[in-house]
Amino acid sequence: MAAKKRTRKVRVPFRQNRQSRRRSDDWTRQYHTDNDQLQDTQQHESVRAKGALSRKRTIRLAADDTVVADESLWRRGTVTAVHGLICYINDHEGRNWTCTVRRILRTLRIESRSPVTVGDRVWFSDHSASSDGQPVGVIERVDPRQSVLSRRDGRGRQHTICANADQLLIVTSAAQPKLKPHLIDRYLVAGHKGGLHPVVCVNKIDLTAEHEGIDPEDLLIYTQSSGPADECDPDDEAVREPITIGSVLTELRRIGYTCITTSAVTRAGLEELRAVLTGHISVLSGQSGVGKSTLLNALQPGLELRVADVSAESEKGKHTTTHARLLRLDGGGYVVDTPGIRAFDLWSVEAAELEALFPDFAAPLQHCRFKDCFHRDEEGCAVRAAVTRGAISRRRYLSYLKMFDEVAQRQP
């Protein structure tokens, strides 16, 4: 352990790569060495938020001006799993590292709950030389997060699931279990609410073709009452229109959603799925049994997905750890394997914002007579008029009503 040396302060401008905005808890940064056995005692640096006018930092140099901790040697990586104080990191070459977290970041954890979480893009120092070449390191810095996904536990507390996810892969199945369009709509709403770009994947299309001998797109899911939007009565048996897999996909594509059909058995659509996932951090969602784990294992053998064994029941278990982890796909891109699927439910959606989470309502709702129109039975509702003339799908509108009632009921 090096004895503490005399240091002096120097004011230097920020480096270019430091000028992006950070979260406030990223501002204070200091190197602690005693617990990490690093030899960077000689350089201490602290950065405080002072605004754009004084974009300078103070660094402390050792008397002999040597800089032992060289940031230019830090490596870039993405956190794929966190277990206590140990983080697993995937670097840009696809190599896996086991890292601890610099103590100051751990201290900040108390304030911000999770300064290092799955999905974080980090800088870490390579300590493999001091551990027989094992890929180990220390996380030195965490990049500002583009997004944070969290879930609420039974006691209403929020838990961070992962950072920087940008896509929601909604997996459904054509059969066993059969397609549930309303459930897709709920995931779409949750995706928008969470700032994730939603992609719909209908899996098991082999089942419809094999067992029913029909084009999967023609498979009837159910019928719904037709007629003017303001007379929509889901229980009305009189006039029924068929809802098929094809009609659901057509209306979703018309809204602008990417929809793909796959089969983990015949491998149909797998390359399309891979293309959709490449370059993104995608959250995998969808009800149990639709084939999420089978699909990803087919896409990339060796992933060892554990989605299947996390049932809704075990998730409720008191001692179940529900840590998310990132799975890296060949060709780039990660999939978040998380048992916290229910996080993408509607709990955080308010009735008044629901319309904004239906992109197909965006244009018509500008023309509703009342600014605070909820598009139910108000006069001069342009959304309902759009349903009547076919510009908005009736099925989507009924989905909206159902979700609206649900969230409105919850918020007295």
Cβ within 8 Å of residue 246, ≥6 positions away: 215, 216, 217, 218, 219
Strands 281-285, 334-337: parallel, antiparallel or unpaired by DSSP? Answer: parallel
CA 64 to CA 81: how far, in whole Å?
40
| Cα torsion through 131, 133, 135, 138, rounded to 10 | 40
Q: How far is the CB of 264 from ligand GDP (least distance, A)?
A: 4
Is 172 among the residues that bind ligand GDP (CB under 6 A)?
A: no
Tell me which of 101, 163, 190, 207 binds ligand GDP, using CB under 6 A: 207
CA 293 to CA 30: how far, in whole Å?
42
Is 386 among the residues that bind Zn ion (CB under 5 A)?
A: no
Q: How far is the CB of 223 from ligand GDP (least distance, A)?
A: 25
DSSP-H helix ranges across 117-244:
181-193, 205-207
Is 200 among the residues that bind ligand GDP (CB under 6 A)?
A: no
CA 200 to CA 203: how far, in whole Å?
10
Q: Are 255 and 359 in contact (CB under 8 A)?
A: yes
Choose among ligand GDP, Zn ion, none what residue 263 binds, the Cβ cut-off being 5 to 8 Å by kind: ligand GDP
Point out which span in 29-37, 212-220, 226-234, 284-292 binds ligand GDP (CB under 6 A). 284-292
Tokens 């007579």 correspond to what residue? Answer: 369
Choose among ligand GDP, Zn ion, none what residue 383 binds, the Cβ cut-off being 5 to 8 Å by kind: Zn ion
Residue 117 identity: T
Choose among ligand GDP, Zn ion, none what residue 375 binds, the Cβ cut-off being 5 to 8 Å by kind: Zn ion
Is 337 among the residues that bind ligand GDP (CB under 6 A)?
A: no
CA 297 to CA 237: how far, in whole Å?
43
Tell me which of 144, 242, 289, 331 binds ligand GDP, using CB under 6 A: 289
Tell me which of 89, 199, 259, 264 binds ligand GDP, using CB under 6 A: 264
Q: How far is the CB of 383 from Zn ion (least distance, A)?
A: 4
Tell me which of 164, 203, 244, 285 binds ligand GDP, using CB under 6 A: 203
CA 304 to CA 43: how far, in whole Å?
43
Is 168 among the residues that bind ligand GDP (CB under 6 A)?
A: no
Q: List binders of ligand GDP among 215-244 (CB under 6 A).
A: none
- Using CB under 5 A, count the residues that bind Zn ion: 5
- Using CB under 6 A, count the residues that bind ligand GDP: 18
Closest alpha carbon to 25 in 149, 121, 110: 110
Q: List binders of Zn ion among 316-375 (CB under 5 A).
A: 368, 373, 375
Is 391 among the residues that bind ligand GDP (CB under 6 A)?
A: no
User: Backbone dihedral region of 264: left (phi > 0), alpha (psi from -120 to 50 degrees) or beta?
Assistant: alpha
Tell me which of 308, 312, 362, 363 binds ligand GDP, using CB under 6 A: 308
Q: 75-114: b or e for each residue (b if 16 or more CB lie within 10 Å)?
A: bebbbbbbeeeebbbbbeeeeebbbbbbbbbbebbeeeeb
Tell me which of 127, 204, 325, 384 binds ligand GDP, using CB under 6 A: 204
CA 110 to CA 122: how far, in whole Å?
19
Return the number of the residue (270 or 387) whose C-beta is nearest ligand GDP: 270
Is 127 among the residues that bind Zn ion (CB under 5 A)?
A: no
Point out which span in 225-233, 260-268, 319-327, 338-346 binds ligand GDP (CB under 6 A). 260-268
Tell me which of 40, 120, 140, 206 binds ligand GDP, using CB under 6 A: 206
Q: Are 47 and 57 in contact (CB under 8 A)?
A: yes
CA 282 to CA 38: how far, in whole Å?
36
Q: Sort 252 into a burial class: Cβ within 10 Å, 0-12 / 13-18 / 19+.
A: buried
Is 285 among the residues that bind ligand GDP (CB under 6 A)?
A: no
Q: How far is the CB of 252 from ligand GDP (least distance, A)?
A: 20
Residue nearest to ligand GDP (CB): 291
Interface with Zn ion (CB under 5 A): 368, 373, 375, 381, 383
Interface with ligand GDP (CB under 6 A): 203-204, 206-207, 263-265, 286, 288-295, 307-308
